[in-house]
Amino acid sequence: MVAIIYSSLWILAAFKFGDRNWERYYPTMLFAAIGNLLYELICYDFQLWQLEPNGLPVAMIPILLLITVGMPLSTWIFLSRYPEDKGVLGKAGYILLFIAIFILLEYISVLTGAITYHNDWNLFWSFLFNIVMFIMLRIHYRKPLFGLMLSAAYTGLLIVMFDVTFDKMK
């Protein structure tokens, strides 16, 4: 049920805060969704964190909602309100705001059993991941090819750090 509530909130927030020219953010919205989809595929048998059905009849519903609603819409909001005219501190503060939102939502999800951690992952790792993720979303928006290359390198680093070997991949 948490996934449905979060998806509904992202839809409402997108209507309120999203730039109506959503098409310009669409490539990065897809980038975010595909990144999450790749995690689900690569780590299918070796989850670091896992969305739980949490009262929903089908276990795949929370994952599909995150991939198709949560990640694209949160990316749209993040990019469409990005403070272009602010200095480094204003931009860093904006990124920290989104990191705080994501960590709060994840913390609530852990408390309600909507997310479980595995294989040494925890909220601190999520915090670090969110720092990189929001910076990467911005880089991808400005320079897509460079963002893809950096993301591939970062994914490789995480695979090595968490020992996600080929035999553990789906």
pLDDT at 44: 84
Q: Where are the alpha helices (DSSP H) in 18-143?
A: 26-42, 60-65, 71-80, 88-112, 123-142
Q: What is the pTM of this model?
A: 0.93
In this structure, the chain runs to a length of 170
pLDDT at 56: 78
Helices (H) and strands (E) in the chain, counts: 7, 2
Distance between CA atoms of residues 106 and 110, nearest Å: 6
pLDDT at 53: 87
pLDDT at 160: 92
pLDDT at 34: 96
pLDDT at 143: 98
Q: Side chain identity at 37, as an amino acid letter?
A: L
User: Which residues of the chain have a pLDDT value below 50?
Assistant: none
pLDDT at 31: 98
Q: Which domain holds residue 31?
A: 2-18+25-165
Q: What six digits make up the tokens of 22?
A: 């959503």
pLDDT at 105: 97
Domain count, the chain: 1
pLDDT at 97: 98
Burial of 152 (0-12, 13-18, 19+ CB in 10 A): exposed
Q: Does residue 170 form part of some domain?
A: no
| 56 close to 3: Cβ distance less than 8 angstroms | yes
Distance between CA atoms of residues 32 and 35, nearest Å: 5
